[in-house]
Amino acid sequence: MDWVALGVSLKLAFWTMLVLLAIGMPIAYWVAFSRWKLKFLVEAVVALPLVLPPTVLGFYLLVAIGPRSPLGQAYQRVTGGLLPFSFEGLLAASILYSLPFAVQPMAAAFGSVEPRLLEASRCLGASRWRTFRRVILPLSAPGVVTGMVLSFAHTLGEFGVVLMIGGNLAGKTRTASIAIYDEVQALNYEAAFATSCLLLGVSFAVLLVTYALQRRVWTAWAPR
């Protein structure tokens, strides 16, 4: 069993979730409340990773962040390192790959907060930020939690993008799903079985805890 690979997977999923919480919420807010006519363009771009083969996404990303691209060169000048085949590059790819899984539940939750409550808040002198913090966020907490969990679980299970961007460096970019593939290639079924089982267990546990927690969140507001 490859504990190191599982560690890389968990670390990657955790950071992806955190970064998506930070950048997913503003995007979701914009998607939910913008009245721009061409909003659908942005929505489509955000949702693209849902349908795109991971290899396509990975290929373009590899080109975009490679040492010959402006982005890759800028990164190299600042940090002295390269993005492809590094954990940071893998993280950047995972964030893009899981973006819709974070943004869509959040945007749906933000959008379902009743407009009259937002109006009441505005009439009571609250700024946009205060309205978001005191009304929108608490009322859409389940949606935000769902977005975070889905991006965590989705990152845990990703394969194609990791292979394209991260390669297969033990302890750095070899995630659990890659490790399983390697074991199977080496006809080492026993190890593959163990790692698979562990990954299944972790994923299931994460979802289980979330759904159980969400039920509590809802019932806290229901009339008793």
The site for other proteins (CB under 8 A) is made up of 114, 116-117, 119-127, 130, 134-135, 138-139, 221-224
Residues 4-26 as b/e (b if ≥16 CB within 10 A, e otherwise) read ebbebbbebbebbbebbeeebbe
For residues 109 and 135, which CB has a smaller minimum distance to other proteins in the complex? 135
> What is the distance between the alpha carbons of residues 37 and 111, in angstroms, rounded to a whole number?
17
The count of other CB atoms within 10 Å of the CB of residue 98 is 27
The nearest distance, CB 134 to other proteins, in angstroms, is: 7
The nearest distance, CB 138 to other proteins, in angstroms, is: 5
> What is the distance between the alpha carbons of residues 37 and 66, in angstroms, rounded to a whole number?
35
For residues 44 and 124, which CB has a smaller minimum distance to other proteins in the complex? 124
How far apart, in Å, are the Cα atoms of 203 and each of 9, 68, 99?
11, 37, 18
For residues 114 and 190, which CB has a smaller minimum distance to other proteins in the complex? 114
For residues 11 and 134, which CB has a smaller minimum distance to other proteins in the complex? 134
For residues 117 and 209, which CB has a smaller minimum distance to other proteins in the complex? 117
The nearest distance, CB 148 to other proteins, in angstroms, is: 19
The nearest distance, CB 33 to other proteins, in angstroms, is: 15
The nearest distance, CB 128 to other proteins, in angstroms, is: 9
The alpha carbons of the chain give a radius of gyration, in whole angstroms, of 20
With CA atoms as reference, report the closest residue to 24 among 109, 112, 87, 122.
Answer: 109
For residues 51 and 123, which CB has a smaller minimum distance to other proteins in the complex? 123
Describe the crossing of helices 3-33 and 39-51 by its angle, rounded to 10 degrees: 160
The answer to whether 107 and 164 are in contact (CB under 8 A) is no
The nearest distance, CB 2 to other proteins, in angstroms, is: 44
Q: How far is Cα of residue 58 from the mean position of the Cα atoms in its chain?
A: 15
End-to-end CA distance of the chain: 48
